[in-house]
Amino acid sequence: MADLLGDFPRNSEQGYSDDFEKVDKIPEQDEAITTTSFTDTWLKNVDPRVLDLVYWRDVKTTGVVFGSMMFILLSLSCFSVLSVLAYLSLAVITVTLSFRIYKNVLQAVQKSGDPHPFRVYLDMDIDVPEDKAQMALKNITRHVNNTSRELRRLFLIEDLVDSLKFGLLLWVLTYIGAWFNGMTLIILAVVSVFTLPKFYETYKVQIDNYFNMICCQVDGVMKQVQTKLPFLKKKEKAQ
């Protein structure tokens, strides 16, 4: 009996536990690599200044931007676009005109030759560079072409599974459209942009674990459905 057990480790901390730790560490590393690569791919084309805003790196700047956007959107939900633009323009020109009159009176009293109070902004170059405009137009054209090709593929049932998923999404959107109007959806989208990234950054590990579990469950269900319904399997594209 001792000979039979001689090949097995006597100390569980040096034997079985090490094996189990090796087995457990591999999936965790794979999941971390997968999640990191997915996040990096999704954020690689985002301007770092935008990331600083949505991740609240500078609380004051983000608060001003977020508050301004919410104020404008809530105003648009209550008034027409023309009224909101007119009132905002009136507010801006009232502030600038008051400040200009104040500076002129101050110059007259002090008899100083100060330059125009907004000279810095008047001399600022606000023209859009042609190369950046062409690059933006090229990116927009590429996205439009990709979207049109994808919609054509979905509507003309090139792949049955993808078209069924798209139809299910459209069906869900009919209920969302019945519950919310367009402006409400835009407000919810803005709130999500300024809250969800920070929430994900704070609870990244827990969210990734639950997300991986859900993906595994969905993949298992899809495999079972495709096994029972072979015609739902995706056709391999000819290379």
- Whether residue 175 is contained in a domain is answered as yes
Distance CA 2, CA 5 (A): 5
Query: What pLDDT shows up at residue 234?
Result: 62
pTM given for the model = 0.65
What would the pLDDT profile of 153-209 be if each residue is shown by its tens digit?
Answer: 999 999 888 899 899 999 999 998 888 888 899 999 999 999 998 898 889 899 989
Highest-confidence segment of 4-13, 14-23, 114-123: 114-123
- Whether residue 139 is contained in a domain is answered as yes
Query: What pLDDT shows up at residue 180?
Result: 86
- Whether residue 13 is contained in a domain is answered as no
Instruction: Answer yes or no: is pLDDT of 36 > 70.
Output: no
* Number of domains comprising the chain: 1
Residue 27 Cα distances to 14, 17, 123, 209, 223, angstroms: 21, 16, 58, 11, 21
Poorest-confidence range of 57-71, 80-94, 112-126?
Answer: 112-126
pLDDT band at 112 (very low <50, low <70, confident <90, very high): confident
Distance CA 103, CA 117 (A): 7
Domain that holds residue 172: 127-179
Six-digit token pair at 106? Answer: 């101050």
Query: What pLDDT shows up at residue 32?
Result: 41
Query: What pLDDT shows up at residue 116?
Result: 84
Query: What pLDDT shows up at residue 65?
Result: 94
**Cβ–Cβ < 8 Å for 197, 54:** yes
Distance CA 151, CA 146 (A): 9
Residue 96 Cα distances to 30, 43, 88, 101, 119, angstroms: 57, 38, 12, 9, 12
- Whether residue 168 is contained in a domain is answered as yes
Distance CA 49, CA 187 (A): 21
CB neighbour list of residue 164: distance below 8 Å, 6 or more residues apart: 232
Query: What pLDDT shows up at residue 8?
Result: 44
Choose between 209 and 229: higher pLDDT.
Answer: 209
Query: What pLDDT shows up at residue 219?
Result: 84
What is the mean predicted confidence (pLDDT) over 24-31? Answer: 43
- Mean pLDDT over each residue of the chain, to the nearest integer: 81
- Whether residue 196 is contained in a domain is answered as no
Query: What pLDDT shows up at residue 43?
Result: 62
- Whether residue 3 is contained in a domain is answered as no
**Cβ–Cβ < 8 Å for 69, 84:** no
